[in-house]
Amino acid sequence: FLTSDIGINLTDPMFRGIYRGTRKHQDDFLDVIERAVKTGVKKVHSFDGTKEEAAAIIDLDLYIGINGCSLKTEANLETLKSIPSERLMIETVKY
């Protein structure tokens, strides 16, 4: 079980309550999300997963954040269509 990305974010006050990506959790993504929910996570940031992952996140009563990187493929667009608008958060970056 790898915890580096989620561990850093759960201890950083700037990102508290946000799960940021699956770089090290592809195989155990849902297990990690379920554990994160127990610690207070409410949002999944920069989501670019599957429809099934989106449905599982919604079932956990979480919000899903998307940005331009979330919309790179046709599959990403189809997944976006499956997310209820009341669970969707649009993310932007200010430089």
Which residue ranges make up each domain of the chain?
13-90
Provide the whole-model pTM: 0.69
Stretch 32-46: mean pLDDT, rounded?
Answer: 81
Q: Which residues face 19 on adjacent strands?
A: 44
Stretch 55-82: mean pLDDT, rounded?
Answer: 89
So what's the pLDDT on residue 80?
92
pLDDT beyond 60 at 94: yes
User: In this structure, what token pair is assigned to residue 53?
Assistant: 């992952």
pLDDT beyond 50 at 8: no
pLDDT beyond 90 at 40: no
Average pLDDT, the chain: 75
Q: Is 89 helix (H, G, I), strand (E, B) or coil?
A: strand
pLDDT beyond 80 at 9: no
d(CA 22, CA 27): 9
* Phi-psi category of residue 17: left, alpha or beta, with phi > 0 → left and psi -120 to 50 → alpha: left
Topology classification of domain 13-90: Rossmann fold (3.40.50)
